[in-house]
Amino acid sequence: MDDEPAIRVRGLRKAYGDTAAVGGVDLEVAHGEVFALLGPNGAGKTTTVEILEGYRRRDDGEVSVLGVDPEVAQRRGAGAEAKRWRDRVGIVLQGTGEFDELSVGEVVRHFARFYPAADDPAAVIERVGLSDKVRARTHTLSGGQKRRLDVALGIIGRPELLFLDEPTTGFDPEARREFWALIRDLQAGGTTILLTTHYLEEAEALADRVGVIARGRLIAVDTPRSLGRRDSALATVSWRTPEGAWQRTESATPTAVVADLAARFSGEVPGLTVTRPTLEDVYLEMIGGAA
């Protein structure tokens, strides 16, 4: 890989009338990284991602996606250079495509023809967990199964960079964790992934780094573990007394607290828990402060 990041954004701005949807975002995503963009509805994350995908024009700023300005690529339309760029990018949008009269296998095989080095359709269908639905018409699929089909269409071209917009909406917990395994597999194969999600546990499980966007501005970027300094925040130690009452204390040295409790209780401490702020705790505090 060269030193150029997979995504580089400087001073990105987009307004709708007097409303600034994106107000000066700077961002870099490295090759091979899974980056999760978090933010409430209306924060500007969808506008930002659509600009990166080339679907929406920006008002100001610099954008490079796999070394190409996506706005320039879109203007060039069917040109060879623009097509080569689009072949390197996979996109899974929030909306599901309409292929009601086609089977799952027919849709995936059809999309495979758009790419010069497409993956094997049967293998992709198996990876997204739709092998038992390969002959089913798409209108008979459940919401979660349609979402899996969307993902299949996003990865059939073996993309270098994959945009995933709320990919596990409608998935049950088991299906969501199966999807997480697919994302880890794609990353292990070198795919760069930019993910938007409202599931904080999903971001924590998958992302190398997360960015929090609020009111059109990127207010924090860090690893899930370190966002908002949660890795160094005071820990809460809770336990139950011999009389059955709950006690708790906050400490920067929870190990010492636990050791002291173990000595006091001569071993096992009833109901012992040690917790730090969750990613959701830190996120909610950040977007609340931004608001």
Contact by Cβ (8 Å): 89, 114: no
Which DSSP state fits 68? B
d(CA 46, CA 103): 30
Sheet holding 273-275: strands in order across? 246-251, 235-240, 273-275
Q: How many residues does the chain have?
A: 291
Q: What residues have CB less than 8 Å from 242, skipping those under 6 apart?
A: 270
pLDDT in tens, the chain (291 residues): 457 899 999 999 999 998 899 999 999 999 999 999 999 988 899 999 999 999 899 999 999 999 999 988 877 666 788 888 999 999 987 765 678 889 999 999 999 999 989 999 999 999 888 999 999 999 998 888 888 898 899 999 999 999 998 888 778 888 888 889 989 999 999 999 999 998 999 999 999 999 999 999 999 999 999 998 888 888 999 999 998 899 999 999 999 999 999 999 998 999 999 988 889 999 998 988 655
Contact 73, 53 (CB under 8 A): no
Residues of the chain with CATH 3.40.50.300: 7-225
At residue 1, the pLDDT reads 47
56 φ, ψ (degrees, to nearest 5): -135, 140
Among the listed residues 11, 16, 48, 19, the one whose alpha carbon sits nearest the alpha carbon of residue 195? 48
Q: Which fold has domain 7-225?
A: Rossmann fold (3.40.50)
**What's this model's pTM, rounded to 2 decimal places?**
0.85
Q: So what's the pLDDT on residue 97?
A: 64
- The kind and range of the H/E element at 92 are strand 89-92
Virtual torsion, Cα 201, 202, 206, 211, nearest 10 deg = -80
Hey, CA dihedral for 235, 239, 241, 244, is it positive or negative?
Answer: positive
Residues 6 or more apart in contact with residue 123 via CB below 8 angstroms: none
Cβ atoms < 10 Å from Cβ of 82:
18
Tokens encoding 41: 């509805």
CA 113 to chain centre: 27
Beta strand 19-29 with 7-16: parallel, antiparallel or unpaired?
Answer: antiparallel
The pLDDT assigned to 291 comes to: 53
pLDDT of residue 111: 94
Sheet of strand 34-38: strand arrangement:
89-92, 161-165, 192-196, 34-38, 209-214, 217-222
Q: Which residue is associated with the tokens 């390969």?
A: 134
Query: Three-class SS of residue 40?
Result: coil
